[in-house]
Amino acid sequence: MTSQVQPPPQRSPGMSAAENRAPAAGDPAVRDRALLRIGAVTAVLGIVLEVVMEMLHPSKADPNDSVAAFREYAAHSNTWTAVHIGQFFAALCVMIALVALARSAGRQPGLPSALALLGGITAVMVATVFAVQMAVDGVALKAAFDAWAGASGVQKTVAFQIADEVRWLEKGLGGFFQMLNGVTLIALGLCLALGRRYPRWLGLVGVVAGVGFLAGGVSTAHTGFSGQAGTILLAPTVLAAVFLISAAVAMWRRSSRAG
């Protein structure tokens, strides 16, 4: 029998052997390709959905003025729960994106891997706390301010006190949600800044946004939905959007290289 000699694989001009090598089936980049694309899509979807829900959420009254806020909320009672369900899914999409980012960024040795694991765990905690907050805000608070709006006399006073207590429960959950969000962004930001898989400037943006959310969460826990807390949270909210969009682009590009 005559053995047939296979010709050597052709290399594309100007590319090294490592660049010409097709990723193996067990390559982490190939295994993470689907997750990276899910993360990239859910990051953008979460931001868009949150913007839409924020536009639908009544927000003319001072959120720390319970009487004015409850009157405004009662006027939008029909859509109140639906808006908060939408906000929950928006946050869930964002947390899925952060878990995907943590999974990908954690595939490197040393401290970046540990920070990615920490960020992934706290991202799951953020989604959990926010789910409870939306249940309190979108369901329990609605029942409370509806009861207050329909009561009269002494019953109205009692109903307001109950609704205000539910409101403060929401404020407490909001503060801890923001603090956990800050810890998540700091952990993932440091992971990216110290690692080599993603742009380091992206990690620095995440760290700065995380510090801002941490400070804003502490302020919310002490003062509620005050103007002070809102001012502190404004800049990190913008930076977090920049971080998420940039991370989505980076994850999509990495998934394309894996393909």
In a domain, 23, yes or no: no
pLDDT of residue 217: 97
Tens of pLDDT, residues 183-203: 999 999 999 999 988 999 999
pLDDT of residue 172: 96
pLDDT of 174 reads 96
pLDDT of residue 28: 58
Q: Is residue 7 part of a domain?
A: no
Residue 226 included in any domain: yes
Domain range spanning residue 100? 28-258
Which 3 state secondary structure label does DSSP give 9?
A: coil
- pLDDT score at 1: 46
The three-state secondary structure class of 195 is coil
Query: Are 145 and 214 a contacting pair, CB within 8 Å?
Result: no
**Token pair listed for 55:** 């536009």
Question: Is 11 part of a structural domain of the chain?
Answer: no
Asked if 182 and 206 touch (Cβ cutoff 8 Å), the reply is: no
Inside any domain, residue 10: no
pLDDT of residue 8: 52
* Contact predicate 158/178, CB 8 Å: no
Q: Mind giving me the DSSP string for the chain?
A: -PPPPPPPPPPPTT--HHHHSPPPTT-HHHHTHHHHHHHHHHHHHHHHHHHHHHHHS--SS-TT-HHHHHHHHHHTHHHHHHHHHHHHHHHHHHHHHHHHHHHHHTSSSSHHHHHHHHHHHHHHHHHHHHHHHHHIIIIIHHHHHHHHHH--THHHHHHHHHHHHHHHHHHHHHHHHHHHHHHHHHHHHHHHHHSSSS-HHHHHHHHHHHHHHHHHHHHHHHHSS-HHHHHHHHHHHHHHHHHHHHHHHHHHHHHHHH-
- Asked whether 53 and 92 are in contact (CB, 8 A), the reply is no
C-alpha to C-alpha distance for 141 and 164, rounded to whole angstroms: 9
pLDDT at 12 (0 to 100) = 45
- Would 78 be classed as within a structural domain? yes
DSSP type of residue 137: I
pLDDT given for residue 59 in this prediction: 84
Q: How many domains does the chain have?
A: 1
On whether residue 98 sits in a domain, the answer given is yes
Which pLDDT score is estimated for 256? 83
Look at residue 14 in the predicted model and tell me its pLDDT. Answer: 43
pLDDT per position as a tens digit, 132-168 = 999 999 999 999 999 998 888 899 999 999 999 999 9
- pLDDT under 70: residue ranges of the chain: 1-30, 258-259
| pLDDT, tens digit, 9 for 90 and up, residues 34-52 | 999 999 999 999 999 999 9
- pTM for the full model? 0.85
Question: Is the residue at 12 inside a domain?
Answer: no
